[in-house]
Structure 1
Amino acid sequence: MKHRTTAGLAALALGAALALTACSSGEESATEAGEAVCTPEVQAAASTPAQPTPTAEDVAAVDAIQVTGDAGAEPTVTFTAPLTVTAPTTRIISEGTGADLVEGQQVSINYVVMAAADATLVGSTWAEGQSPEVFTLGDASYELLNTPLLGHKVGTRLVLASQGADGTYQVSLIEVAEAKDTLSRAEGEPVEPAEGLPTVELAEDGLPTVTIPSGYEAPAELVVQPLIKGEGAAVTEDQTVTVQYAGCLLDGTSFDSSWSRGTPTSFPLTGVIPGWTQGIAGQTVGSQVLLVIPAELAYGDQESGAIPANSPLVFVVDILDASSDA
């Protein structure tokens, strides 16, 4: 499922993208007595391809980048343009003094991104109306940051020179604003769902399998059915949520799943389809929610990746955390 808005500038500049992009899992739906059974395909663990090793010239170019300004405030980044590197190259500017950064944590970062060709500003989370970007440390979409940040601390500043997804080069100054542990799956009191809805069975690790009843018809209005009631705070529409989720078509096709990718994902509720915004807002952290979303509250008459036009969608969502803009 794609965001209605673009991902954060850091993700774009670093050649990464937040999850929730429509993708076919390749999983064929199984049927029994007319039922459609949807199980996300869990990708086999694979070693991360080794990044090219920066050359001595790359290291020297990044060593020459100057960063001034107090921690916690927008820094000034200066360098001689144009700057290019043969491989992503990082340098720790200053070590933080906060808690250790551990894989699986929800990490908030502030950043300044500059075009390496002419040293002009591309974007900054310190700009008016912007806020820190949130991601799960270890998420493959942020691989350029995972290795440099693991083993360091909250407050760490690093500079990264890299080639973006569009082929241009960027210089990024990243500062870790916060890191916190989150749930790995929904936790709370089970809720008895209404009859006639798609049913959900959980594997030992929490991976959901969704069964669409024979003859099930798409609802005219959004269906929001809590399956587990969490004890956390209620989510509001203006927050960024961290979730595990699985998405299915009514024929049992699994089209997208964070479970398949191995890590939760974070995104602002203002940046997704209306069915998500309306369905998740008001639920509590720790909850698991079944959403059945009419096409009008999803992608309407537009195709989106593996999702055909005019498709109602079924999601199982574990709400692991919710945070407001800093």
Structure 2
Amino acid sequence: MRRRSLLLTVPAGLLTLAGCGDGSSDKAQPGDSPSAEASPTASAKVVDGPLPEITAGTKFGEKPTVAKGPGKPSTDLAVKTVLPGSGTSVAEGDYVQADYLGQIWDTAQVFDNSYDRGEPLVIRLQQGSVIDGWRIGLAGKKVGSRVEMAIPPALGYGSEGRPGIKGTDTMVFVIDVRDTFNGKSSAKGEEVAQSDAKLPEVGTNTDGKAPEITVPKADAPKKLVSQYILEGDGPEVKLEDKLLLQYKGVLWDGGKEFDSTYARGELAEFPLQQLIKGWQDGLTGKKVGSRVMLVVPPDLGYGDQESGAIPANSTLVFSLDILAKV
């Protein structure tokens, strides 16, 4: 079982089944901060140090070894860009994909790291989704950067602490910022030929704008269609994954749009197992970083039930950009 990161303030709520076009939320709802001490303050001060030395694993992407903190830590948030990146800047409210190691200032005891799991964390930099030290300290950093920070309890888990982290502990993190995503993100895979005139054609633009979906004037297929439009090179999606997606859905009959993350300017976090069967079957096995076109027949969608702007017995067409596993 995948180990849960300590970075979340509390477990986020999950989505209801088949949240497309039925008026339900398309993203997990953030929980409350764990204590008053951990709540953000507009006056949080960011300083350059002190910070402990990184003694080994000094390259981006390598698991670091970090010394004990030198003397007393600052009561403010200490942040340093150890290795500057040249990619997109991270903004508060964005999702960030990062590898990290966290340890205690006084003892150098490591309490969590993603390097050993071999899977980076994807988390949103917003209040209630991540500890405030990360939310404040990573804003403005560029993809490709290694960032070190020392987070006082007030910007971490407060006086309550966490298992292995006392309420008086300053936490030290080394963070490799691998990617960032927001409502203007697109998949960046290799374009795949669309040669079947009986199937919809999906745009291949990667500018963050909604791709055009052109539905042919033909009978809808009776079986599920799942095809790459842009093929990425990330890991394959598993049924138990939670995905970060950019998507658009239209009706086969008439091509009318019924749902779109592009229109909302908000990405969607979906536990795949809680979605319509067409999405479960159509996305399982596809690669992260891809744009996938799905044609979902009624029996794998909403069947004979009307759902919001989706009439009963509708065949649905989706363009889905699989940005990351969350």
Which deviates further from its counterpart, 268-277 or 193-202? 193-202
Partner of 2:238: 236
| Cα pair 2:204 2:230 within 8 Å, conserved | no
What SS is found at the alignment partner of 2:240?
coil
> Which residue in the other structure is 1:22 paired with?
21
Compute the displacement of 1:136 (Å): 3.9
Could you list the per-position Cα deviations for residues 39-91 of structure 1 after superposition, in whole angstroms to 9, with x for gaps in the alignment?
xxxxxxxxxxxxxxxxxxxxxxx74x8x9xxxxxxxxxxxxxxxxxxxxx767
Quote the RMSD (CA, aligned, Å): 4.2
Give the match for residue 289 of structure 1: 292
> Residue 193 of structure 1 corresponds to which residue in structure 2?
194
User: CA 1:102–1:205 in 2, change beyond 3 Å: closer, same or farther?
Assistant: closer
- In the alignment, does 2:135 pair up with 1:150? yes
Shift in Å at residue 262 of structure 1?
1.4
Distance of 2:267 and 2:260 partners within structure 1 = 10
Residue 308 of structure 1 deviates from its aligned partner by 1.6
What's the offset of the Cα at 1:17?
Answer: 9.0
- 1:256 maps to 2:259: yes
Residues 1:309 and 1:282: Cα distance change in structure 2 (over 3 Å) = same
Is 1:187–1:228's contact at 8 Å kept on the other side of the alignment? yes
The code of the aligned residue for 1:187 comes to K
Q: Which amino acid is 1:191 matched to? A: V
Sort the Cα spacing of 1:9 and 1:202 in 2 relative to 1 into closer, same or farther, 3 A. Answer: same
SS in 2 for 1:150: helix
Q: How many residues align?
A: 208
Measured in 1, the distance between the counterparts of 2:180 and 2:283 equals 17
Q: CA deviation at 1:10?
A: 3.1
1:167-246 aligned within 5 A = 181-182=179-180, 184-195=185-196, 196-203=198-205, 204-214=207-217, 216-246=218-248
- Equivalent position amino acid for 1:150 in 2: R
Q: Distance in 2 between matches of 1:146 and 1:262?
A: 21
In structure 2, the CA distance between the partners of 1:97 and 1:301, relative to structure 1 (3 Å rule), is: farther
Which structure ranks higher in relative contact order (CA pairs < 8 Å, sequence separation ≥ 6)? 1
Deviation at 1:294, TM superposition (A): 0.6
Cα offsets for 1:102-137 (capped at 9, x unmatched): 4322479xxxxxxxxxxxxxxxxxxxxxxxx97644
SS of 1:291's partner is strand
Contact 2:190 2:230 in 1 (8 A): yes
Identity level (%): 35
CA distance in 2, matches of 1:230, 1:150: 29
Query: Whole-Å Cα distance in 1 between the matches of residues 270 and 129 of structure 2?
Result: 18
Q: How does 1:105-184 map to 2 (within 5 A)?
A: 105-106=95-96, 136-137=124-125, 150-152=135-137, 157=156, 181-182=179-180, 184=185
Please tell me the residue identity of whatever aligns with 1:199.
Answer: E
* Cα deviation 1:124-178 (Å, max 9, x = unaligned): xxxxxxxxx976446xxxx76699673146985368xxxxxxxxxxxxxxxxx99
The C-alpha deviation readout for 1:251-309, integer Å capped at 9, x for no partner, is: 21111111112132222111111111111111111111100001111111222222122
Do the aligned residues in 2 keep the contact of 1:134 with 1:267 (CA within 8 Å)?
no
Letter of the 1:188 counterpart:
G
* Conserved 8 A contact 1:212-1:252: yes
In the alignment, structure 1 segments of 5+ residues that lack a partner are 1-7, 25-61, 68-88, 109-132, 160-176
Q: Aligned pair in 2 of structure 1 residues 310, 150: CA closer, same or farther (>3 Å)?
A: same
Structure 2 gap segments, 5+ residues each:
1-9, 24-34, 45-75, 82-88, 99-120, 139-148, 159-172
**Post-superposition offset of 1:217:** 1.7
> TM-score, with normalisation over the residues of structure 1?
0.52
The separation in 2 between residues aligned to 1:19 and 1:181, in whole angstroms, is: 28
Displacement of 1:213: 1.2
Change in Cα spacing, 1:97 to 1:294, as seen in structure 2 (3 Å) is farther
Change (3 A) 1:19 1:273: closer
Structure 2 CA distance for aligned equivalents of residues 96 and 20 of structure 1: 40
